[in-house]
Amino acid sequence: MIFKTLRHEKTNEIPWVPFAGVHAGKLKGYTAEEVLTDADKLVESLLEVKRIYEPDGMPITFDLQVEAEIFGCELLWAKDNPPSVRSHPLSGEKKIPCKCEIPTPDSGRIPLILDATRRVKREIGDEVALYGLICGPFTLASHLRGSEIFMDMIKDQEYVTALVDYCAEVACKMAEYYIDAGVDVVAVVDPLVSQVSPAHIDKMLAPAFTAVFDFIRSKGVFSSFFVCGNATRQIDAMCRTNPDSISIDENVDLAKAKEITDKYNITIGGNLPLTTTMLLGNQQDNMVEVIKLIDSVKDHRNFIISPGCDMPYDTPIENTIAAGQAVKRPEQARKMVENYEAAEEDIEVEIPDYENLDKVLIEVFTLDSDTCAACTYMLKSVTDIYDEIKDIADYVEYKYTDKENIARMKKMGVNALPSIYINGEPKWESIIPSREELIRDIESALKK
Amino acid sequence: MIDEKLLEEAKQSVLDGDKELAAKLARQGLDAGVDPVEFIEKGFVPGIMEVGDLFESGEIFLPEVMMAADAVKEAVGILNEAIEASGKKRGGAAKVVLATVEADLHDIGKGIVASLMVANGFEVIDLGRDVPSQKIVDTAIEEGADIIGTSALLTTTMTHQKEIEELLKEKGLKGKIKTMVGGAPVTERWQKKIGADGFGENAADAVRLVKELMGKKTN
């Protein structure tokens, strides 16, 4: 479906591309640093992203510091963020690095990313479009030169052009390595483009970007231009660099931006709010935000829904599930939101007297186990062991599609779907238990 | 009274981000015997505040703002020296401790805020980037600062702004030392949530906020 959208054809659904960068690690209990430095952990996390979030497209990594690190930028690592660049080798020294410094497939962490790409491609490459993310030439130039690059743009435009052109050569090489390893889309991620004027983009950056997008096209894969921050004024200039698609952040009005990208017949993706909705909101907020986004756009051709930028590590898993569910089944989500608003406390629901039940009661709360993958797996974790536990436990599923169930969830304070409650206690929220873990929880409830 | 033409040229030099010209005009003013305080406040400050507004409305971008901030820093530096040499002080100045929070290396925005604050006559102690909350609070106490301003550019480092509120509370200084927060992911909602005293969308906004907070300050 991503391919159809990127070929600018009509699709039946809107594609969903959650940018689970370091957040992928959260799904498997790994830190940001672990998934960005250990191929096994990265692959394991990415397979989980595919399983739980059912994306149409997904990034392998979202780390704009891979190239910079190879050029000698010192990194500050964090457990819940991609690393940041601490030092800039060209700070105070205006020069262009030697071509001999251009990364090879063996430099820095590139082998790890290529290895992960090949393995993920083998496992799920037929079902999901893999995005290889490279650092955009302007952001890479700023990593190398530091904040002086902004003043250079006014004082020494020739230098900026030369440095950005060099970084574009790096970008082409990176794109080539990722394409050879099997990515379907190369995303040129350049958050800093939002910080400079359209005139400066046209003059100093556009030729470099166009060269990268042309190169990607010549290799037979799709390209995307990712920008973070408020790029409202830059969208037009970005379109003129001729990528297949553009992905924008939350501070841009997507409907308005799409009017511009449509003129160029470029696909646009975006732009669920990262902090207020995905990180700090609840499942309702995420569904509402997706529906709002869908409704704001008239023509659903050339349209991808994704977070505004790299998802925060700690984004609640259930929020992403809810957002994905709303993208894939907007009418059902609309109904759920309506029901949520209608399900006032006065719908009578009886909460079981857990302490005096004959058997342990497992309650599985789902958005809808028929349509949401994470919900299906959550329910399946129970049905798979049912034969073993049926003498000591019963189970029941409550789907969010029903008003009465919503009232029950409100009364019990259930706010993450899917989840498993055992005798009224929340045990598993969004994370699906293994067979052993679930049996252990049921047995311990029995002993109480 | 300073010649209108000189004031206009000073303002324009900032709008153009022309550091050499701004410095030249500052010296020229001093040679002509103008009051440096008045020269800053009626010439250079209106220039940088207009730059702030143009940035806010999306007419200019980071390179232009950095050039302007650099120009104003140079001119105000020259004029401030003259003010000090004459033994005078700029009146009503606030003392502000500025820092980018721990584990966060973004300091372009905070640097611009610092330049604008200095231009506006505030005394600024800029602790740089990646600064632990404890150090920020300790410095504010030692220096007798009126305001702590912090910048955070990552959703994960924003939490340090909350930590600062808590440290101030522990020491019973909440409300005595005012706090203001800024940075790309920081919003007014976040400011209210953590109980900071103000939120600045951009550098010009931050300057207005300092003035407002100083007006409200009760010791």
Q: Distance between CA A181 and CA A300 in Å, rounded?
A: 31
Interface test with A, best of B61, B112, B151, B159 (most A CBs within 10 A): B61
Model confidence band, residue A109 (pLDDT cutoffs 50, 70, 90): very high
pLDDT confidence band for A425 (50 / 70 / 90): very high
- The verdict on B155 touching A (C-beta cutoff 8 Å) is yes
pLDDT at residue A230, rounded to an integer: 84
Query: Chain B residues with CB inside 8 Å of A237's CB?
Result: none
Structure tokens at A261: 């990208």
Residues B23, B122, single domain; the answer is no
What chain A residue is nearest to B57 in terms of C-alpha separation?
A233
CATH superfamily of A354-447: Glutaredoxin (3.40.30.10)
Examine the pLDDT at B88 and tell me if it is beyond 80.
no
Query: Distance (Å) from the C-alpha of residue A133 to the closest C-alpha of chain B?
Result: 20
- Give the model's confidence band at B3: pLDDT under 50 very low, under 70 low, under 90 confident, else very high: confident
Quick check: B5 contacting A, CB < 8 Å?
no
pLDDT of residue A1: 87
| B195 & B104 share domain | yes
pLDDT tens string A111-164:
999 999 999 999 999 999 999 999 999 999 999 999 899 999 999 999 999 999
- Considering the domain architecture, whether residues B143 and B121 belong to the same structural domain is answered as yes
Alpha helices per DSSP H over B32-178? 36-39, 45-56, 62-85, 108-119, 133-143, 159-170
Q: Do A81 and B189 touch (CB under 8 A)?
A: no
Q: Which of A219-223, A339-343, B48-52 has the lowest mean pLDDT?
A: A339-343
What are the boundaries of each domain within chain A?
A: 2-336, 354-447
A33-42, A297-306, B186-195, range with the lowest pLDDT:
B186-195
What residues in A contact B105, CB-CB < 8 Å? 76, 84-86
Identify whether residues B186 and B121 lie together within a single domain. Answer: yes
Asked if residue B218 has pLDDT above 50, the reply is no
Residues B183 and B114 in one domain: yes
Residues B54 and B78 in one domain: yes
Closest Cα in chain A, distance from residue B92 (Å): 33
**Domain topology for A2-336:** TIM Barrel (3.20.20)
| Amino acid letter, residue A242 | N
What is the DSSP code (8-state) at residue B87? Answer: T
How far apart are the CA of B34 and the nearest CA of chain A, in angstroms? 31
Q: What does the pLDDT read at residue B91?
A: 61
pLDDT at B1 over 50: yes
Report the pLDDT averaged over residues A15-33.
96
B114 and B64 share a domain? no
B19 and B114 in a single domain? The answer is no
Together in a domain, B32 and B131 = no
Is residue B51 domain-resident? yes
Task: Please list every residue in chain B whose beta carbon sits closer than 8 Å to the beta carbon of residue A81.
Answer: 103, 154, 156-157
Q: Is the pLDDT of residue B92 over 70?
A: no
Last residue of a domain, one of B85, B118, B146: B85
Query: Whole-number mean pLDDT of chain B?
Result: 91
B147 within 8 A of B168, measured Cβ to Cβ: no
Q: Which position has the token pair 């104003």?
A: B72
- Of the residues B101, B129, B156, B158, the best mutation for testing chain A's interface (the one with the most A CB atoms within 10 Å of its CB) is B156
Domain span at B38: 4-85
Mean pLDDT, range B133-148, rounded to an integer: 96
Same domain, residue pair B50 and B121 = no
pTM of the model: 0.88
**In chain A, what percentage of residues exceed pLDDT 70?**
99
Any A CB within 8 A of B172 CB: no
Chain A residues closer than 8 Å to B67 by CB: 151, 154
**Are both B77 and B105 inside the same structural domain?**
no
Contact status, residue A89 vs residue A71, Cβ threshold 8 Å: yes
In whole angstroms, what separates CA B61 from the centre of its chain?
18
In a domain, B121, yes or no: yes
The CATH number of the domain where B49 resides is what?
Answer: 1.10.1240.10
The verdict on a CB contact (< 8 Å) between A232 and B187 is: no
Q: What is the pLDDT of residues B64-85, one digit of tens each?
A: 999 999 999 999 999 989 988 8
Neighbouring residues of B189: CB distance < 8 A, sequence distance ≥ 6 = A276
ipTM metric: 0.83
Q: Is residue B31 part of a domain?
A: yes
Residue A343 predicted with pLDDT over 70: no
Domain count, chain B: 2
Sheet of strand B95-100, all strands in order from the earlier edge strand to the far edge: B123-126, B95-100, B147-151, B178-182, B198-199
Closest residue to B63, CB basis, from A86, A153, A230:
A153
CA distance B183 to chain A (A): 11
Q: Is residue B90 domain-resident?
A: no
Predicted confidence at residue A207, as pLDDT, reads 97
Cβ neighbours for B193, distance < 8 A, ≥ 6 positions apart: none
Please give the angle made by the CA atoms of A149, A228 and B71, to the nearest 5 degrees: 35
**pLDDT-above-90 percentage for chain A:** 80
Q: Would you say residue A273 has pLDDT above 80? A: yes
Q: Tell me, what CATH number does B143's domain have?
A: 3.40.50.280
Whether pLDDT at B219 is above 70:
no
Question: Which of B61, B105, B189 lies at the smallest CB-CB distance from A195?
Answer: B61
pLDDT in tens, A316-329: 999 999 999 999 99
pLDDT interval class at A370 (50, 70, 90): confident
Considering the domain architecture, whether residues B72 and B131 belong to the same structural domain is answered as no
